[in-house]
Structure 1
Amino acid sequence: MIFAEDAIFTSLSAAANMVLGRNSNGFTKWVNKKGETFREVQEKLNI
């Protein structure tokens, strides 16, 4: 997906919903290069 201009989302889930075209949990859908979800990284950092 390529946006013609910058898009600002109010949450991880809102961004994931746009990309996937359905309701989703951004904390579990976004992953880093290691395959770790945002939630897993957040838990490791105790945030």
Structure 2
Amino acid sequence: MEKGLSNKAIAGKLNIAESTVKAHVSRLIEALVVHNRLACVMEAQRLGIL
């Protein structure tokens, strides 16, 4: 996500289903209490996770 990859691209790189990526992205967004992918990445960077 940090590199701007789509769910499909991430799934391809990790050799997992796109639905698995979607589920993880949704959980990250929920856990970081943000509303979209960009905000998720920015909050993860702010917290030192990335």
Smaller-chain TM-score range?
under 0.3
Normalised to the residue count of structure 2, the TM-score between the two structures is 0.27
Higher-Rg structure is 1
Normalised to the residue count of structure 1, the TM-score between the two structures is 0.27
